[in-house]
């Protein structure tokens, strides 16, 4: 599995955020604790880290392993999509346990076993009954330490990855996400989605040796963090982790991810779609990386929600009252990324609506936020929305493991989960205005428009 196509360029889902070395000071006003119980951190000598989180999920444990390698780490031309390919290859067996044996043993545990890949990381997400944790730990440690796959199995898996590309290729969100990537990033690897470029995916079968090198680069103890969340005995799991991971060796290779130059002028690209469709817009503003400034990241989420959220004046005018848009879709977590990224939203337009009027309306709304024309009550409503979303979200051990993994992937520090909530709680309206006038401006804007190819326009199939 990879991340949902519409959101491929910007990280979605969980609450992630800052507190790396260069993070700002903790917020003065703290949010309520998001996790009911404190967690413990285990650092092994080889650089491997495990986070143990007690959670009220009787008899169930999420055992998630984060690899801080995603499509951003695919730096060689022609080699996009390999972080995602690895998410697949990790189910292909080891020197000790064949793929067939692995599958049978995982089944005997009744594991819900899957994984996904984003721009910035790959997360393996098995969940099992508490009693199955020792066996799962043994299998999981083995595949991270000793993955081994033959050329034939490798080629077969590249077929499944191409099948995954085909699965989403009927959706215009994919070419739009691809276009926004190449528009907003001329050098940085955020220019491609986690799926990779189609031509690179089709070339994967011939790159077995490269795949081995990719594994050695990033699947190392110092690049991985284990999250054990749920109902378990901490002492027993600690002993288990030492037994399974102490002997793992290796260091993550340095990745020279190209630095993207500052964007100084608006950019746009128009693409066409092979089927009849309503006109669509995908727009992204270049924003700073998440770990640079925690307060700014929270302020960006609030500023964007003020303009694009369901209760915003813009949404209510364009979607509800004037009905110029069929849909306006936005996720406040999209602003978060390990390197400077994009904060994006998408819209589906009525045929009589022009792209320019939507882009112009969004520009004007952000400018108003930047001038401080937002009432403190509205800022507070967004802040409460974002904090309540977290509370509702964190109901399962998987959701907690997922959120902590996101936080760690982006900032290197799981404490940023809570720190983000604290930053939200302490934001001032001026923080929100400042990020809007600094980042959410025309000079940082990238616009992708999609319309039907001329042959499809006016087709009766559209029914208008």
Partner 1 sequence: MKKLVSSLVALAASSMSACAPTSPPLHVPGPTTAHPPGYTIACPPTPAAPEVRTLSMRTPGTNVVAFRILFSAGSADDPAGKEGLTRLTADTMAQGGTTALTYTQLVEKLYPLAASIQVQIDRDETVFSAEVAVASLPAFYPLLEQVLLSPRLDADGFDRVRAQETSALTDDLRGGNDEELGKESLQAFLYEGHPYGHPTVGTERGLAAASLADLRAQRARVFCRDRMTIGLAGGYPEAFASTFAQDLAALPACAGERAPLPAPKKLEGLHVLIVDKPSADATAISVGAAYDLTRTSPDFPAVAFFTDYLGLHRQSSGRLFDELREKRGLNYGDYAYAEHFEQDGAGQFPVPNVARRQGMFSLWLRPVKSDNALFALRGALYEYDTLLRHGVTESELARYRTFLERYTALEELTATRRLGYALDDQTYALAHPYLETMHGAWRQLDSASLAAATGRHLQDANLGIVLVAKNGAALAKLLTDGAVTKAPAYASPKPHEVTAADEEIVRFPLHVAKENVRVVPVGEMFRE
Residues in region 240-299 near partner 1 by CB under 8 A: 273-278
Please tell me the distance from the alpha carbon of residue 209 to that of residue 212, in angstroms, as a whole number.
5
When asked if residue 109 is in the footprint of partner 1 (CB under 8 A), the reply is: yes
Please tell me the distance from the alpha carbon of residue 443 to that of residue 272, in angstroms, as a whole number.
25
| Cβ-based neighbours of 347, under 8 Å, separated by 6 or more | 280, 281, 283, 325, 327, 328, 329, 358
| Cβ-based neighbours of 274, under 8 Å, separated by 6 or more | 453, 456
Q: Mask: binding to partner 1, 202-241, rule CB under 8 A, as x and -? A: ---x------------------------------------
- Which parts of 131-150 interact with partner 1 (CB under 8 A)? 132
Least distance between partner 1 and beta carbon 426 (Å) = 17
- Residue 341's nearest CA partner among 66, 2, 16 is 16
| 196 and 8 Cβ atoms separated by less than 8 Å | no
Least distance between partner 1 and beta carbon 252 (Å) = 28
When asked if residue 380 is in the footprint of partner 1 (CB under 8 A), the reply is: yes
Q: Is residue 115 classed as helix, strand or coil in its secondary structure? A: strand
User: Which string of DSSP letters, residue by residue, matches 261-277?
Assistant: PPP-S-EEEEEEESS--
| Cβ-based neighbours of 428, under 8 Å, separated by 6 or more | none
Least distance between partner 1 and beta carbon 386 (Å) = 8
Instruction: Tell me the number of residues near partner 1 by CB under 8 A.
Output: 82
Part of the chain binding partner 1 (CB under 8 A), chosen from 41-49, 128-136, 293-301, 411-419: 128-136
Nearer to partner 1 by Cβ, of 184 and 394: the residue is 394
Among 288, 340, 397, 412, binds partner 1 (CB under 8 A): 397
- Which parts of 150-189 interact with partner 1 (CB under 8 A)? 151-160, 162-164, 166-167, 169-173
Least distance between partner 1 and beta carbon 277 (Å) = 5
Least distance between partner 1 and beta carbon 382 (Å) = 8
User: Which string of DSSP letters, residue by residue, matches 324-373?
Assistant: -EEEEEE-GGGG--SSSEEEEEEEEE-TT--HHHHHHHHHHHHHHHHTT-
| 85 and 1 Cβ atoms separated by less than 8 Å | no
Nearer to partner 1 by Cβ, of 111 and 180: the residue is 111
Part of the chain binding partner 1 (CB under 8 A), chosen from 259-267, 287-295, 355-363, 377-385: 377-385
- Which parts of 5-64 interact with partner 1 (CB under 8 A)? 56-60
- Which parts of 424-453 interact with partner 1 (CB under 8 A)? none
When asked if residue 318 is in the footprint of partner 1 (CB under 8 A), the reply is: no
């Amino acid at each position: 599995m990879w991340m949902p196509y519409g959101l491929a360029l910007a990280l979605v889902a969980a609450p992630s955020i800052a507190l790396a070395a260069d993070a700002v000071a903790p917020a003065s006003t703290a949010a309520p604790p998001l996790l009911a119980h404190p967690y413990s951190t285990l650092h092994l000598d080889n650089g491997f880290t495990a986070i143990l989180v007690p959670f009220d999920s009787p008899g169930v444990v999420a055992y998630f392993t984060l690899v801080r390698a995603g499509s951003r780490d695919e730096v060689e031309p022609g080699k996009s999509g390999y972080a995602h390919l690895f998410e697949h290859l990790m189910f292909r067996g080891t020197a000790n346990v064949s793929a067939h044996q692995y599958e049978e043993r995982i089944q005997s545990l009744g594991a819900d076993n899957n994984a996904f890949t984003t721009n910035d990381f790959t997360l393996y997400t098995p969940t099992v009954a508490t009693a199955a944790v020792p066996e799962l730990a043994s299998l999981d440690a083995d595949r991270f330490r000793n993955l081994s796959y033959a050329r034939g199995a490798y080629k077969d898996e590249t077929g499944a990855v191409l099948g995954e590309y085909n699965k989403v290729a009927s959706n215009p969100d994919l070419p739009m996400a691809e276009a926004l990537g190449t528009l907003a990033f001329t050098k940085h690897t955020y220019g491609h989605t986690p799926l990779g470029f189609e031509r690179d995916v089709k070339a994967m079968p011939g790159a077995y040796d490269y795949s081995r090198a990719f594994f050695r680069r990033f699947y190392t103890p110092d690049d991985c963090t284990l999250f054990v969340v749920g109902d378990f005995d901490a002492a027993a799991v600690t002993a288990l982790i030492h037994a399974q991971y102490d002997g793992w060796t290796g260091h993550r290779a340095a990745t020279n991810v190209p630095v993207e130059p500052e964007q100084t002028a608006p950019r746009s690209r128009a693409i066409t779609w092979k089927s009849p469709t309503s006109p669509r817009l995908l727009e992204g503003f270049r924003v700073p990386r998440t770990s640079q400034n925690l307060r700014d990241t929270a302020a960006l989420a609030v500023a964007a929600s003020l303009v694009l959220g369901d209760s915003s004046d813009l949404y209510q005018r364009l979607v509800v009252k004037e009905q110029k848009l069929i849909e306006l879709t936005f996720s406040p977590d999209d602003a978060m990324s390990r390197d400077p990224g994009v904060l994006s939203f998408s819209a589906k337009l009525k045929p009589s609506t022009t792209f320019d009027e939507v882009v112009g309306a969004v520009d004007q709304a952000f400018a108003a936020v930047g001038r401080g024309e937002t009432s403190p009550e509205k800022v507070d409503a967004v802040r409460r929305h974002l904090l309540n979303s977290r509370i509702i979200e964190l109901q399962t051990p998987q959701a907690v493991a997922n959120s902590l993994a996101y936080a760690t992937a982006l900032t290197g520090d799981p404490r940023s989960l809570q720190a983000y909530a604290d930053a939200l709680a302490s934001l001032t309206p001026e923080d929100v205005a400042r990020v809007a006038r600094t980042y959410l401006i025309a000079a940082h804007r990238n616009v992708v428009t999609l319309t039907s190819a001329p042959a499809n326009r006016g087709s009766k199939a559209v029914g208008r």
